[in-house]
Structure 1
Amino acid sequence: MDAGDLATWVGSSFAAIAAGATIWTLKSQRDQIDEQRRFIAEQSATLALERAELRAAARDRKIAQARQVEMKVELTVQSGAPADANGEPIPDTFKIEVRNLSAEPIHEVTVRFGDQEAEEASAAVEVELLRRGLTVVSDGPRLNVPVPLVGAGRIYLFMSGPMLAEVDRHRPALHFTDNAGVRWRLDEYGDLRDFAHPG
């Protein structure tokens, strides 16, 4: 083998080695890029889950106090109320019992009957009948509506004006602002909605 062929052969060998090293480097870089993409995708998925959990936790914190407010509806019949087709008296007044079972006050509390606001409200007085094991809630002092503040653990009563035959069109809904400043609407079936976002 002459020196020229040897030099060509050595040069070709080095070129082949360099080409192999380049291919190996490119493959290694491609593998690293793919691994980084997988890592970024996993991180993105993890961050999306964490964001969803944080939003859910924030929503739970936002609604926690509002869920502890209860409304009980009672229809009352005044003497001389008109009767329905079966001769049964038509209830003509709603009496709504609002219980704030949370550890914080609620504000600007009112009950609406369609487009009408409750006519009156009163702080309730609970009387325990020890012999019968019952608790009776009765009216206390009269208050203006909306009631500016219902303290933690307190009960308030709201009365509608006469409804007569329009009772079904004026089902009650409790409106209040929680201690964080969020306005809520609660209906008699327990449907609780952020009043600013009723959807």
Structure 2
Amino acid sequence: MALQGPIPVTFPIVFPHGCYIVGEVEPVKDFDASTNGRFVQARDKQTGELVWQVAVMDGDPTLKPAQKTVAVKILSPVQPVPPAPMPGLPFTPVEFETVSVTPYVNGNGRLAYSIKVREMRAPATSPRARPRPERTPLSDAPSYPRTSVIRLTTGQAARTLRHPYALHPPVLALGELAELGS
């Protein structure tokens, strides 16, 4: 199979409604190397970088309470610093760069996803402030809907990922795939 390891995605695909920090940035424990009171921090298997973790709350209003909080792993040589809290908000909004997901089977035998990122930052002040990828017209390219929707099903939990910049339909769908026009 050509696709192995983490699957690169973008922040809006995983968190189309944004997300908020609800915990501290903490080192991830390497359970194999740690022994009797000696803590060893985990390193990423592909890059060898230190792994940190932060709990975030998904801003999707349709998610059930048990599905709202997820752990995001951050690969960084030093402890990442979260963005400054915004006045008047109970949680700090955050965006991530260089996002990848790794599917795995959890302890209950259900499909789950590990989210890894390289950078954490404050969100852009408006959706227009975010850079958009350049799109060049292709005269002989088939016409596809402007928004691709991928429905990832993890046991009873389901998460819909939207990719507004898709030029072509997804070639890989984890779970149930649906193409919707905008």
Q: TM-score, normalised by structure 2?
A: 0.24
Q: TM-score, normalised by structure 1?
A: 0.23
Structure holding more helix per residue: 1
Larger Rg: 1 or 2? 1
